[in-house]
Amino acid sequence: MSGALARERPTTAIVIFALLLTAPFWLPYVGGYDALATRVLVFGLAAMGFNMLLGFTGVMSFGHAAYFGLGAYGAGLMLRYVTSSTMLAVVSGTLLGGLAGSLFGTLIVRRRGVYFAMVTIAFGQICYYIAYSWNSFTGGFDGLRGFSRQPIDLGFTSIDIQGNGTAFYYFVLLIFALAAAAMGLILRSPFGRTLLAIRENERRARFLGIPIERHIWMSFSISCFFTALAGALYALLNNFADPLGLHYTLSGEIVIMTVMGGMRAFWGPLIGAAVFVVLEDTISSMTVNWMSFVGIIFILVVLFFPRGLLGMLKRRDAA
Amino acid sequence: MDRKIVGLRRRTLLTAGATLGGLQLASPFIISARGEAPVKIGMVDPLTGSLSAPAGPEVEGAKYAVAELNKAGGILGRQIQLLVEDSANDVGTGVQKTRKLIDRDKVDVIFGDVNSGIAYAMSQVTNEKKVLHIVPGGHTDPITGADCKWNVFRICNTTTMDATAVSGELIKRFGKRWFFITPDYAYGHSLQDAFVKQLKKAGGEYQGDMLPIANSDFSGTLIKAKAYKPDVLLNNMGGLAQVDCMKQFTQFGMEKEMALGGALFELEALQAVPVEAKAGWWTMEWWWNQPGVPHVAEFVAAFRKATGKTPSARHWFGVVAVHSVKLAAEKAKALDSLKMAHALEDLELPADVALQPGKVRYRAGDHELMPNIFVGNAHPAKAGANPDDMFTVAKLVPGEEAAGSVADTGCHMKYPA
């Protein structure tokens, strides 16, 4: 096994970042807009975080919306009740979702396969019903409102991410780039290699003396932190957090984005998220049956490009 | 020798380049000349999901009004273009579609959403972008109450208005012991609170259950209600859940033991339930059968001719929303949001738009439309009558009377400096 990352050429990253950096300039010409690009980044980050677990550790979770949603509520509650600092809100959202994932992870790392996936759904639904029922604190089904992202004060100047959609896009892009770099470093480290070893052959890794459970727990926790970070950014994007952000249907969408884009490729989930979000946005303007189209496209991708869209673009001999 | 370019195959790169080039031709370019550009209205509604039943007719009503107005010369001599987007009953999607309509499509006005939570989240965006926003059919009080905004106007009644209007009739006709079946979210809570307020005033007592918004099994709750032996069972559920609840209520044979009522039981819901479940005391926010009221019969006939359907309150919301834009723009002589918002304040709808007796106006203090509330009872259509003649109006309650004063709503209207 050459390792998935060895196949990642820096040029792929350069092309992706060149496109992302210039997005606000070319998007209007292809029918896009800033909020759509920001949404792609947010879901791309969530799916890439999730892919640490699915693609690089080989463990399936159907409850990642829980951490995404907790991230959103963490950021929203912070802005609503405590402080008007956008950065603190992002940090608190990430911590809330990430720590909840880490705690919960200790309980489930011994489960495997479908059992692991089912318990993750259950935990997600617990979070969903708490947010749904706690009307006085979370706003219940109507969602948490009455907060909005605030301009970032750098001391010498302040950046207006509140009223300026393009500025907010670049703010999210910066965080996305830092997070992607961190993920890349983690996966290139010996720890990341060990995760790949577990994915490829768990029993052999165990015989080599690798503490499997601890590694899976760490991978799960890290994955939750990144997904929660995406959730916090989502709350800032909408100035709103609602229980549907915790619902298992969103977990399913994150899985779809990841698999569609290519779970063995580092940038695959971002491509998947872009395709999913843009399809949803365009087809739903044309027909109310847009979900059928997204479903059909997903089935076609799984049937004909099992390695995902990005996997399909890559050289066959690299497999 | 490995001749790959940057990890991608050369052919892939070429294909990608050609596709991108093709996309340029296929995608819509931004319009650069805007001389006789149409007046654009963006409408966000949950066309999919559990509120699709009321959302569809709202859009249909707006489309009908746009077609009619366009035939008559449009708004300020410009044609009207209605851009409809699906919020999928999800706040994130609704907000994103609102930004899409404002940022990309540069709409002049936003309509929506049936889901009050989404309508509220949308109003944050429209307020930030300073775009006139009309909420045709999202009922929770705060939209024109504690959370009211200068750019937001609402056509449908508040939950308090509906509940207050029907409470008097229910107490007078049946009694003061009530059982509530209420959806567990803001709409349900504020509706039940409004009912309880009226009930307590009359010295009544109650019990109730809060259920998930898309609940489909009501057997447990109905058994509880049976044991409580109330005078009236109030079904506050909305959309498909309300219909399911009505069906199970009749399957249990409970209609013989207690009266049934609630705030809204819309024409769409009435059409969806079996004959036995067409019963109870409710409010309609507009009703098509108003003998002797000018313009109503002509409107109903024209609407039926165009769409093949009897207009419901939701259709009327859509129609009024489009006409409000026209009235505001013509009074303000501009499409500027701020000017149009001022023009709409205390604007009285002409009789052929109001389609009901009395004066119907947007109250300046909270931007809430003040129409009549049609209180009456639902029943199966009589033999020989129109199949949609399933509701008999017993009383018209003026909106102002049911709404209370502006101070009661908690709205403090603030305009931008």
Check pLDDT > 70 for residue A319.
no
CB-CB under 8 Å, B47 with A242: no
**Residues of A with CB below 8 A from B86's CB?**
284-285, 288, 290
CA angle B90, B93, B99 (to 5 degrees): 140
Q: Are B403 and B160 in contact (CB under 8 A)?
A: yes
A292 touches chain B (CB under 8 A): no
Is residue B5 very low, low, confident or very high in pLDDT (cuts 50, 70, 90)? very low
Encode burial over B134-145: b for 16+ CB neighbours within 10 A, e otherwise.
bbbbbbbbbbbb
Check pLDDT > 80 for residue B18.
no
**What pLDDT shows up at residue B22?**
55
Distance between CA atoms of B187 and B228, rounded to whole angstroms? 25
pLDDT digits (tens, 9 = 90+) for A189-221: 999 888 888 888 888 988 888 888 889 999 999
Tokens 């869209």 map to which residue?
A: A309
Residues 15-34 of A with CB under 8 A from B: 15, 28-34
Q: Which of A272 and A290 is assigned the larger pLDDT?
A: A272
> Nearest 5°: phi and psi at B336?
-65, 130
CB-CB under 8 Å, B92 with A244: yes
Check pLDDT > 90 for residue A302.
no
**What pLDDT shows up at residue B81?**
93
pTM given for the model: 0.83
Question: Which among B47, B93, B124 has the least Cβ separation from residue A239?
Answer: B124
B182 touches chain A (CB under 8 A): no
CATH-assigned architecture of domain A4-318: Orthogonal Bundle (1.10)
CB-CB under 8 Å, B100 with A35: yes
Enumerate the H helices of B202-289 as residue ranges. Answer: 219-228, 239-251, 267-272
B103 touches chain A (CB under 8 A): yes
Per-domain residue ranges of chain B: 33-157+288-370, 160-284
The identity of residue A120, as a single letter, is T
Distance between CA atoms of B371 and A295, rounded to whole angstroms? 44
Tokens 């509330």 map to which residue?
A: B373
pLDDT digits (tens, 9 = 90+) for A71-112: 999 999 998 888 888 889 999 999 999 999 999 999 888 887
Strand partners, A144: A241
Helix (DSSP H) and strand (DSSP E) numbers for chain A = 14, 2
Residues 221-260 of B with CB under 8 A from A: none
**What pLDDT shows up at residue B28?**
46
**What pLDDT shows up at residue B12?**
64
In whole numbers, what is the pLDDT of chain A averaged over residues? 86
Q: Are A47 and A187 in contact (CB under 8 A)?
A: no
Q: What is the DSSP letter of B146?
A: T
Kindly calculate the radius of gyration of chain B based on its CA atoms and give it in whole angstroms.
24
Check pLDDT > 90 for residue A264.
no
CB-CB under 8 Å, A163 with B184: no
Domain at B33-157+288-370, CATH homologous superfamily: Response regulator (3.40.50.2300)
CA neighbours closer than 13 Å in the CB half-sphere of residue B399: 25
Distance between CA atoms of B398 and B400, rounded to whole angstroms? 6
CB-CB under 8 Å, B92 with A234: yes
Lowest mean pLDDT among A170-184, B107-121, B235-249: B235-249
B29 touches chain A (CB under 8 A): yes
Check pLDDT > 60 for residue B188.
yes
CB-CB under 8 Å, A35 with B99: yes
Would you call A225 helix, strand, or coil by DSSP?
A: helix
**Percent of chain B predicted with pLDDT > 70:** 92
Check pLDDT > 70 for residue B21.
no
CB-CB under 8 Å, B95 with A9: no
- H or E stretch including B396? strand B391-398
Would you call B153 helix, strand, or coil by DSSP?
A: strand
Domain at B160-284, CATH homologous superfamily: Response regulator (3.40.50.2300)
**What pLDDT shows up at residue A301?**
84
CB-CB under 8 Å, A12 with B6: yes
pLDDT digits (tens, 9 = 90+) for B349-389: 999 999 999 899 999 999 999 999 999 999 998 888 888 99
CA angle A146, A238, A94 (to 5 degrees): 90
pLDDT digits (tens, 9 = 90+) for B73-129: 899 989 999 999 998 888 888 988 999 999 889 999 999 899 888 898 899 889 989
B32 touches chain A (CB under 8 A): no
Check pLDDT > 50 for residue B327.
yes
Q: Are A237 and A38 in contact (CB under 8 A)?
A: yes
Q: Is B50 exposed, middle or buried (0-12, 13-18, 19+ CB in 10 A)?
A: middle
Q: Which of B57 and B16 is assigned the larger pLDDT?
A: B57
A240 touches chain B (CB under 8 A): yes
CB-CB under 8 Å, A29 with B24: yes
Check pLDDT > 60 for residue B1.
no
Tokens 């000349």 map to which residue?
A: B33
**Residues of A with CB below 8 A from B95's CB?**
238-240
Domains B33-157+288-370 and B160-284 alike in fold: yes
Q: Is B107 exposed, middle or buried (0-12, 13-18, 19+ CB in 10 A)?
A: buried
Question: Which among A33, A242, A280 has the least Cβ separation from residue B103?
Answer: A33
Cβ neighbours around A152 below 10 Å, total: 17
pLDDT digits (tens, 9 = 90+) for A41-73: 999 999 999 999 888 888 888 889 999 999 999
**Residues of B with CB below 8 A from A11's CB?**
6-8
